[in-house]
Amino acid sequence: MIRSQNQIKIEGNTSSMSDLVFLLLIFFMITSTLISPNAVKLLLPESSSKTMAKQNLTVYIDDNYNFYVGETAVQPAELEGYISNGIEKGIDDACVVLRADKTVPVQYVVSVIDAVNNINATHATKHKVILATSPKQ
């Protein structure tokens, strides 16, 4: 029996494929850290002022009037306790940044300000509330 010396082998070189997958992995890891850190999607009110302050704690109010301290959903009655616990101990003049959707009624904004004012009165601190806005276009 005579066998042919020319046999066709169907194989692919996968070493370049693993390099490509590795590069894509690095690309997506880097770009995912560049995504906005805001946990709650909001349409902020517009303003032309540029007040910058070091933020110690962020409070969100979304368009459904849900409160968040950091990324934790909070009931309005529990707001004061969560804000008080969220501010580091020993800081007497923390800035609480309030990111409220522009459709939120003023009463909800005032409830956050009242919570911070109650903390100030109780603990003799001077925490401030800063309303976050988007740049005017």
* Domain segments of the chain as ranges: 46-135
Report which DSSP code applies to 36: -
DSSP 46-66: EES-------SEEEEE-TT--
State the average pLDDT over residues 25-41: 69
Q: How far is CA 27 from CA 12, 16, 36, 43, 44, in A?
A: 25, 17, 17, 29, 30
Supply the pLDDT for residue 52.
63
98-115 average pLDDT score: 91
Confidence band of 61 (pLDDT split at 50, 70, 90): very high
Is the per-residue pLDDT at 27 higher than 80? yes
Give this prediction's pTM. Answer: 0.62
DSSP 87: S
Q: Is the pLDDT of residue 120 over 70?
A: yes
**What pLDDT is stored for residue 15 in this prediction?**
72
